[in-house]
């Protein structure tokens, strides 16, 4: 109840200043942006948004809430991670197929439909489904968020990270940072604009904020900048390059 009360306060506060509030600010403030938002919270939010005269931004937030409640969170190509005790074939990462269905290997027969299912409901839905084939299955089911991790990391690229993972684990999914990484220049972007950066992001990392709590979405990008070299480091690097080039020239002269 406390969380719902806080939700109502947020909606009321935003409603009183709708003129200067963008759709992004609505979504960043409200539960609609959280990947693991529950159905109860989203339904409460939907009811409250309907009661507000609101603005275009508020109506956009309401439309997104309704879409999640009706269509669910899963789309074709999404990836999920399953751990089923005693079942190696079912302990793996799987991809959501066409028509938003999940096809699992034997002993499962048939497919699990994910249309209308929220990420917060995924584990319970999988456990119920596997209960048709296994006796009291012990299941851990985690929806994954695809994040682009770029810059000074060992394996730059798109990585699927559990929605309940802490932000630091997202960096570890890319093999961790390189020695040249400048953690003071770390930022998270969405559509080319920074949504987390500087002190706010460092505090979120230190506090153990999760991907869900940071309200990250599929396609968000984590960027790790290269550490700016000091004058001494730059001079040493130049000297190393010069010596390397000189050595190569001498070696070539000996050959010819």
Q: Tell whether 229 is covered by a domain.
A: no
Answer yes or no: do 102 and 35 share one domain: no
- Convert the pLDDT of each residue in 74-129 to its tens digit: 999 999 999 999 999 999 999 999 999 999 998 888 899 999 999 999 999 999 99
pLDDT tens digit sequence for 204-250: 999 999 999 999 999 999 999 998 865 545 444 444 444 444 444 34
Please check whether residue 10 lies inside any domain of the structure.
yes
Q: pTM for the complete prediction?
A: 0.78
* Burial readout 164-186 (b: 16 or more C-beta within 10 A, e: otherwise): bbbbeebbbbbeebeeebeeebb
Residue 90 in any domain: the answer is: yes
191: left (phi over 0), alpha (psi -120 to 50) or beta: left
Domain boundary, last residue among 31, 51, 70: 70
105, 120, 137: which is the final residue of a domain?
137
Q: Is residue 232 part of a domain?
A: no
What's 229's DSSP letter? P
**Same domain for 153 and 218:** yes
Domain that holds residue 212: 144-224
- At residue 29, the pLDDT reads 59
Residues with Cβ within 8 Å of 42's Cβ and at least 6 positions away in sequence, in order, are 31, 32, 65, 68, 69, 118
Residue 107 has a pLDDT of 87
pLDDT > 90: percent of the chain: 64
Q: Which residues of 107-120 are buried (b: 16+ CB within 10 A; e: fewer)?
A: ebeeebebeebbbb
Domain shared by 64 and 83, yes or no: no
Q: Cα separation of 201 and 223, whole Å?
A: 12
Tell me if 236 is assigned to some domain. no
Domain endpoint, select from 42, 70, 98: 70
Question: How much is the pLDDT for 239?
Answer: 41
- Averaged pLDDT for residues 27-32: 67
């Amino acid at each position: 109840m406390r969380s719902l009360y806080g939700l109502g306060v947020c909606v009321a506060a935003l409603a009183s200043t709708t003129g200067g509030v963008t759709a992004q600010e609505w979504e960043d403030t409200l539960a609609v942006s959280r990947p693991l938002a529950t159905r109860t919270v989203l339904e409460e939010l939907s009811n409250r948004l309907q009661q507000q005269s609101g603005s275009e931004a508020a109506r956009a937030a309401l439309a997104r809430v309704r879409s999640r409640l009706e269509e669910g969170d899963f789309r074709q190509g999404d990836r999920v991670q399953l751990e089923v005790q005693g079942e190696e074939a079912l302990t793996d990462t799987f991809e959501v197929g066409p028509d938003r269905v999940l096809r699992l290997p034997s002993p499962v027969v048939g497919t699990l439909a994910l249309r209308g299912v929220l990420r917060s409901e995924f584990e319970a839905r999988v456990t119920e489904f596997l209960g048709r084939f296994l006796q009291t299955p012990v299941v851990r089911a985690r929806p994954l968020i695809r994040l682009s991790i770029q810059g000074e990391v060992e394996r730059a690229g798109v990585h699927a990270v559990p929605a309940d993972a802490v932000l630091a684990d997202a960096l570890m999914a890319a093999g961790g940072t390189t020695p040249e990484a400048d953690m003071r220049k770390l930022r998270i972007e969405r559509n080319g604009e920074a949504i987390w950066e500087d002190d706010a992001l460092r505090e979120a990392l230190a506090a153990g904020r999760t991907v869900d709590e940071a309200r990250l979405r599929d396609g968000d990008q984590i960027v790790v900048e290269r550490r700016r070299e000091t004058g001494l480091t730059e001079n040493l690097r130049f000297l190393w390059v010069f010596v390397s080039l000189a050595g190569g020239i001498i070696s070539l002269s000996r050959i010819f």
